[in-house]
Structure 1
Amino acid sequence: MTENRTPPEVAALLDRSHRLGADKRYTNYGGGNTSAKGTADDPVTGAATELMWVKGSGGDLGTLTGSGLAVLRLDRLRALVDVYPGVEREDEMVGAFDYCLHGKGGAAPSIDTAMHALVDAAHVDHLHPDAGIALATAADGPELTRRCFGDRVVWVPWRRPGFQLGLDIAAIVRDNPQAIGCVLGGHGITAWGASSAECEANSLEIIETATRFLAEHGRPEPFGPVLPGYEALPTAERRARAAALAPVLRGLASTDSRKTGRFQVGHFTDDEAVLDFLARAEHPRLAALGTSCPDHFLRTKVRPLVLDLPAGTPLPEVLTRLRELHEAYRKDYRAYYERYASADSPAIRGADPAVVLVPGVGMFSFGRDKQTARVAAEYYLNAINVMRGAEAVSTYAPIDEAEKFRIEYWALEEAKLQRMPKPKPLAGRVALVTGAGSGIGAAIARRLAAEGACLVVADRNAEGAAEVAAGLGNADRAVAVSVDVTDPAGIEAAFAEAALAFGGVDLVVNNAGLSISKSLLETTEADWDLQHDVMAKGSFLVSRAAARVMLDQGLGGDIVYISSKNSVFAGPNNIAYSAAKADQAHQVRLLAAELGEHGVRVNGVNPDGVVRGSGIFASGWGAQRAAVYGVPESELGAYYAQRTLLKREVLPEHVANAVFALTGGELSHTTGLHVPVDSGVAAAFLR
Structure 2
Amino acid sequence: MTNQAAADLIARSNRLGADPKNTNYAGGNTSAKGTETDPVTGEPVELLWVKGSGGDLGTLTEAGLAVLRLDRLRGLAKVYPGVEREDEMVTALDHCLYGGAGAAPSIDTAMHGLVDAAHVDHLHPDSGIAIATAADGEKLTERIFGDRVVWVPWRRPGFQLGLDIAEIKARNPRAVGCVLGGHGITAWGDTSEESERNSLWIIDTAAAYIAEHGRPEPFGAVVPGYEPLPEAERRARAAALAPTIRALASHDRPQAGHFTDGEVVLDFLSREKLRSLAALGTSCPDHFLRTKVRPLVLDLPPSASVEESITRLRELHERYRADYQAYYDAHATEDSPAIRGADPAIVLVPGVGMFSFGRDKQTARVAGEFYVNAINVMRGAEALSTYAPISDAEKFRIEYWALEEAKLRRMPKPKSHATRVALVTGAASGIGRAVATRLAAEGACVVVADLDLEKARAVAAELGGTDVAIGVRMNVTDAAQVRAAIDETVLAFGGLDLVVNNAGLSLSKPLLETTEADWDLQHDVMAKGSFLVSKAAARVLVEQGLGGDIVYISSKNSVFAGPNNIAYSAAKADQAHQVRLLAVELGEHGVRVNGVNPDGVVRGSGIFASGWGANRAKTYGIPEEDLGTFYAQRTILKREVLPEHVANAVFVLTGPELSHTTGLHIPVDAGVATAFLR
The answer to whether the superposition gives a TM-score over 0.5 is yes
- Kindly indicate whether residue 456 of structure 2 is the aligned counterpart of residue 465 of structure 1: yes
Per-residue CA deviation, residues 71-111 of structure 1 (Å, 9 max, x unaligned), is 00001001000000000000000000000000011100000
Work out the CA distance in 1 between the residues paired with 2:172 and 2:410: 39
Work out the CA distance in 2 between the residues paired with 1:628 and 1:41: 76
1:580 alignment partner, SS class:
helix
Give the AA of the match of 2:35: T
- Kindly indicate whether residue 361 of structure 2 is the aligned counterpart of residue 396 of structure 1: no
**Which of residues 500, 506, 509 in structure 2 aligns to 1:518?**
509
**Which of residues 159, 165, 180 in structure 1 aligns to 2:155?**
159
Shift of 1:22: 1.0
Q: What residue number does 1:94 align with?
A: 90
1:151 alignment partner, SS class:
helix
Alignment of 1:591-630 (within 5 A): 591-630=582-621
**Which of residues 47, 50, 56 in structure 1 aligns to 2:46?**
50
Shift of 1:550: 0.4
Give the AA of the match of 1:553: Q
Per-residue CA deviation, residues 28-64 of structure 1 (Å, 9 max, x unaligned), is 1110000000011213233221000000001000111
- Kindly indicate whether residue 139 of structure 2 is the aligned counterpart of residue 148 of structure 1: no
Q: What residue number does 2:580 align with?
A: 589
Is the deviation greater in 13-22 or in 348-357?
Answer: 13-22
Per-residue CA deviation, residues 545-580 of structure 1 (Å, 9 max, x unaligned), is 110010111100000000000000001100000000
Give the AA of the match of 1:581: K
Give the AA of the match of 2:490: A
Work out the CA distance in 1 between the residues paired with 2:594 and 2:322: 38
Give the AA of the match of 1:517: S
**Which of residues 548, 552, 556 in structure 2 aligns to 1:565?**
556
1:111 alignment partner, SS class:
coil
- Kindly indicate whether residue 7 of structure 2 is the aligned counterpart of residue 6 of structure 1: no
Per-residue CA deviation, residues 492-542 of structure 1 (Å, 9 max, x unaligned), is 000000011001110000000000000000000000000000000000000
Aligned length: 678
- Kindly indicate whether residue 222 of structure 2 is the aligned counterpart of residue 226 of structure 1: yes
Q: What residue number does 1:37 align with?
A: 33
Work out the CA distance in 2 between the residues paired with 1:349 and 1:6: 43
Q: What residue number does 1:260 align with?
A: none
Is the deviation greater in 209-218 or in 590-599?
Answer: 209-218
Per-residue CA deviation, residues 140-195 of structure 1 (Å, 9 max, x unaligned), is 01000000000000000000000000000000111111000000000000000000
- Kindly indicate whether residue 116 of structure 2 is the aligned counterpart of residue 120 of structure 1: yes
Q: What residue number does 1:213 align with?
A: 209
Alignment of 1:534-683 (within 5 A): 534-683=525-674
Per-residue CA deviation, residues 299-333 of structure 1 (Å, 9 max, x unaligned), is 00010000111111111100000000001000000
1:36 alignment partner, SS class:
strand
Give the AA of the match of 1:616: I
- Kindly indicate whether residue 231 of structure 2 is the aligned counterpart of residue 235 of structure 1: yes
How well do the aligned residues superpose, as a CA RMSD in angstroms? 0.6
Give the AA of the match of 2:574: D
- Kindly indicate whether residue 58 of structure 2 is the aligned counterpart of residue 62 of structure 1: yes
Alignment of 1:377-526 (within 5 A): 377-526=368-517
Work out the CA distance in 1 between the residues paired with 2:150 and 2:503: 64
Give the AA of the match of 1:496: D
Q: What residue number does 2:102 align with?
A: 106
2:549 alignment partner, SS class:
strand
Task: Name structure 2 gaps, 5 residues minimum.
Answer: none
Work out the CA distance in 2 between the residues paired with 1:515 and 1:588: 20
- Kindly indicate whether residue 279 of structure 2 is the aligned counterpart of residue 284 of structure 1: no
TM-score by length of 1: 0.98
Work out the CA distance in 2 between the residues paired with 1:474 and 1:97: 37
**Which of residues 13, 16, 26 in structure 1 aligns to 2:12?**
16
Work out the CA distance in 2 between the residues paired with 1:495 and 1:46: 64
Work out the CA distance in 2 between the residues paired with 1:583 and 1:339: 58
Alignment of 1:129-140 (within 5 A): 129-140=125-136
Give the AA of the match of 2:522: Q
Q: What residue number does 1:363 align with?
A: 354
Give the AA of the match of 2:77: V
Work out the CA distance in 1 between the residues paired with 2:623 and 2:491: 47
**Which of residues 169, 175, 181 in structure 2 aligns to 1:179?**
175
Give the AA of the match of 2:225: G
Shift of 1:467: 1.3
- Kindly indicate whether residue 245 of structure 2 is the aligned counterpart of residue 249 of structure 1: yes
Work out the CA distance in 2 between the residues paired with 1:383 and 1:661: 42
Give the AA of the match of 2:115: V
**Which of residues 318, 324, 327 in structure 1 aligns to 2:315?**
324
Shift of 1:244: 0.8
Give the AA of the match of 1:342: T
Give the AA of the match of 2:661: T
Alignment of 1:327-346 (within 5 A): 327-346=318-337
Identity %: 78
Work out the CA distance in 2 between the residues paired with 1:330 and 1:23: 36
Work out the CA distance in 1 between the residues paired with 2:111 and 2:465: 35
Work out the CA distance in 1 between the residues paired with 2:449 and 2:42: 59
Work out the CA distance in 2 between the residues paired with 1:623 and 1:205: 69
Work out the CA distance in 1 between the residues paired with 2:241 and 2:52: 38
Work out the CA distance in 2 between the residues paired with 1:624 and 1:21: 57
Per-residue CA deviation, residues 430-454 of structure 1 (Å, 9 max, x unaligned), is 0000000000000000000000000
- Kindly indicate whether residue 266 of structure 2 is the aligned counterpart of residue 275 of structure 1: yes
Give the AA of the match of 2:53: S
**Which of residues 301, 318, 328 in structure 1 aligns to 2:292?**
301
Give the AA of the match of 1:168: D
1:107 alignment partner, SS class:
coil
Work out the CA distance in 1 between the residues paired with 2:662 and 2:37: 63
Work out the CA distance in 2 between the residues paired with 1:74 and 1:404: 31
Task: Name structure 1 gaps, 5 residues minimum.
Answer: 258-262
Work out the CA distance in 2 between the residues paired with 1:474 and 1:180: 40
Work out the CA distance in 1 between the residues paired with 2:454 and 2:430: 14
Work out the CA distance in 2 between the residues paired with 1:386 and 1:124: 23
Work out the CA distance in 2 between the residues paired with 1:346 and 1:474: 35
